[in-house]
Amino acid sequence: MLNSKSMLKPKVVAIVQARMGSTRLPKKVLMKINDHSMLEEVIKRTKAIKGVDEVIVATTENPKDLQIVARCRKLKIRVFRGLEEDVLDRYYQCAKEAGADVIIRITSDCPLLDPTIVEEGLKFFQTTNADYVSNALKRTYPRGLDFEMFTFQALEKAWKEGQEQTDREHVTPYIYSHPAIFKIAHLTNSKDYSEYRLTVDTQIDLELVMTIFKVLGKKRQIFGLNQIVKFLERNPKLAKINSEVVQKDKHLQEEALKKLETISIR
């Protein structure tokens, strides 16, 4: 049941997950993209989502993440610090403290997040009366334009009952793996763009995203999926440079970086 303050309008809170301890690309969230940190770009785009009442950055109690706390304070963004390994608990405690009724989960390594897609997801979430909506499980959007949204009740149930390591590390597996308990809905695009990888896990991912921002991000305007796809369709070799990143092998990243240097951008 929603709290009495939220009977007419549930409070929608976007929680941006951020920490400095990435294994493949340490400190990536504060790396510069188009003269601003990746975290700042994610926050800017998250704040642009219509229907969001508050944006909070959820980081960890690790001393390394004090840099994130300091950056959020400069940006005047509320920050919550919680357990480093138990991300589910971090989300739950953050959402509870914020009085959230609906939570939108955003990760800080997705600086190309398209606010209009999340807005569409929020409308879909409301009309379907779902417990959980995502555009990432049945993937038709590029990796890196992902979102998940779910009710506080669903999050609380997952927090109480999800005891597997994957449940605690990744926030939502308990929810979407129990469709008999939760109403799950999927936002899909009319055209499948899942071939594109636009998240930042490695150096080559970062190089691709920086190139996109250099071309499309003039004056720091927010550009979205349509502009990105048109650009990548004009530059198919560029679009493929990080297609093998999932294998994590260092030599693959080095080969991809070499390819990037030979590509002519249009």
Regarding predicted confidence, which is higher, 253 or 181? 181
Summary mean pLDDT of the chain = 90
How far, in Å, are 17, 19, 61, 220 from residue 88 at the CA level? 11, 14, 14, 33
Query: What tokens were used for 5?
Result: 């303050």
Regarding predicted confidence, which is higher, 9 or 232? 232
Tens of pLDDT, residue by residue over 2-30, are 444 445 789 999 999 999 988 889 999 99
Compute the distance between CA of residue 203 and CA of residue 169 in angstroms, rounded to an integer.
24
Q: In this predicted structure, what is the pLDDT of residue 2?
A: 47
Domain ranges of the chain: 4-186, 203-261
Residue 146 region by backbone torsions, left for phi larger than 0, else alpha for psi between -120 and 50, else beta: beta
Q: Dump the DSSP string for the chain.
A: ---GGGSSSPPEEEEEE--S--SSSTTGGGSEETTEEHHHHHHHHHHTSTT--EEEEEEESSGGGHHHHHHHHHTT-EEEEE-SS-HHHHHHHHHHHHT-SEEEEEETT-TT--HHHHHHHHHHHHHHT-SEEESTTTT-SPBTS--EEEEHHHHHHHHHH--SHHHHHHSSHHHHT-TTTS-EEE---SS--TT-B-S-SSHHHHHHHHHHHHHH-GGG----HHHHHHHHHH-HHHHTTTTTGGG--HHHHHHHHHHHHTPPP-
For 234, phi then psi, to 5°, come to: -75, -20
Compute the distance between CA of residue 147 and CA of residue 225 in angstroms, rounded to an integer.
14
Tens of pLDDT, residue by residue over 153-210, are 999 999 999 999 999 999 999 999 999 999 999 999 999 999 999 999 999 999 999 9
Query: What tokens were used for 134?
Result: 């995502």
Compute the distance between CA of residue 90 and CA of residue 172 in angstroms, rounded to an integer.
12
For residues 60 and 84, the answer to whether their CB atoms sit within 8 Å is yes
Q: In this predicted structure, what is the pLDDT of residue 248?
A: 43
Is 164 buried (19+), middle (13-18) or exposed (0-12) by CB count in 10 A?
A: exposed
Task: Looking at the structure, give the CATH architecture of the domain made up of residues 4-186.
Answer: Alpha-Beta Complex (3.90)
Q: In this predicted structure, what is the pLDDT of residue 23?
A: 82
Compute the distance between CA of residue 32 and CA of residue 80 in angstroms, rounded to an integer.
23
Q: Parallel, antiparallel, or unpaired for β 148-151 and 132-134?
A: antiparallel
Compute the distance between CA of residue 53 and CA of residue 213 in angstroms, rounded to an integer.
27
